[in-house]
Structure 1
Amino acid sequence: MPLVRIDIMEGRPPEKIRELHERVAALVAEILEAPIERVRTYITQFPPQAWGIGGVPADIARGDEVAARAAAAGRDDPA
C-alpha cells in the first residue's frame, strides 16, 4: 500500500486540498500500477511561522506582514 506524505504551508482552500489528494493518488496508482483504492495520501499543513526559509520564519521571509503581526500578538488568525 503506497503512502504519500505531503507537507505544505497552510492557507489553501479545502477544494485545493481535495484536488491534491485526488490527483496525487491517481498519479501514484498509475505509475505503480496499483489500484487507486490502495493508495493513501496524508497532507500536513503548517502555519507560516512554523516554516523556516534561510533561518527566517516564512511569514517574515515572504513579507507576510499581516500574519507576522498576528503571530507576534500571539493570535492564530490575522484578522
Structure 2
Amino acid sequence: MPFVQITMLEGRTIEQKHDLIRRLTDATAESLGGDPGRIRVVIYEVSADSWGIGGEPVSSRRPIP
C-alpha cells in the first residue's frame, strides 16, 4: 500500500487540496499499477513562520497569499 506525504505551505483551499489528493492517487496508481483504494495521501501544512529557506522564515521573504 503506497503512502504519499506532501509537506507544503498553508494557504491552499480545501478544493485545491482535494484535487491534489485525487491527482496524486491517480498518478500513483497509474505509475505503480496499484489499486487506488489502497493508496494513502497525507498533506502536512506548515505556516510561513515555521518554514525556513536560506536561514530566513518564508514569511519574511515573500508575501503570504
Q: Which interval holds the TM-score relative to the shorter structure?
A: over 0.9
Structure number with higher strand proportion: 2
| CA–CA distance in structure 1, aligned partners of residues 61 and 53 of structure 2 | 7
Higher relative contact order (CA 8 A, sep 6+): 2
CA RMSD of aligned residues (A): 0.9
Deviations along 1:17-55, one digit per CA (max 9) or x if unpaired, are: 000000000000000000100100000001100000111
| CA–CA distance in structure 1, aligned partners of residues 50 and 32 of structure 2 | 33
Could you tell me which residue of structure 1 aligns to residue 18 of structure 2?
A: 18
Could you tell me which residue of structure 1 aligns to residue 30 of structure 2?
A: 30
- What's the offset of the Cα at 1:15? 0.2
Other structure's SS at 2:34 match: coil
Return the index of the structure with the highest Cα Rg.
1
- What's the offset of the Cα at 1:61? 1.2
The total of aligned residue pairs comes to 64
TM-score (structure 1 length as normaliser): 0.78
Segments ≥4 residues shifted beyond 2 Å: none
* Sequence identity percentage: 36
TM-score (structure 2 length as normaliser): 0.94
| CA–CA distance in structure 1, aligned partners of residues 37 and 13 of structure 2 | 24
Q: Structure 2: which amino acid aligns with 1:54?
A: G
